[in-house]
Amino acid sequence: MLLNCLAVGCGGFIGSVLRYLIGNAAPSSSFPLATLAINVVGSFVLAALAALVLRGAMADGQLSLLLRVGLCGGFTTMSTFSLEVVDLASRGAWVGAVAYAVLTCALCVAAAFAGGVIVSKVG
């Protein structure tokens, strides 16, 4: 159990730092494009990793925890997404708030689907 917790923690550290760096590298905008991109990429990667686990290509349970729960969990940003939707709406940017919420949900689900399909087709 301790090693599992360490694996998740290490992955979470890496994912959180990556999210921070990408968020800071993105140009400043009134639309939260960096968070949207992070969530889409994270959805794709998580689904691809899950497909690898299902295929038996990733048998190491601790590596799976590090990558899926830790890295992807630390990298994606549902709480930030939620706050940004509320922020857009509270500033009266209702079209932006709705567009961001719909784009995030649609693109992240599509990315997750693509990640799973691509891994299932390869190899």
Please give the model's pTM, rounded to 2 decimal places: 0.83
As a whole number of angstroms, the distance between CA 37 and CA 26 comes to: 10
pLDDT tens digit sequence for 51-99 = 888 888 888 889 999 999 999 999 998 988 998 999 999 999 999 999 9
- Reading phi first (left if > 0) and then psi (alpha if -120 to 50, else beta), residue 92 is in left
pLDDT tens digit sequence for 1-19 = 999 999 999 999 999 999 9
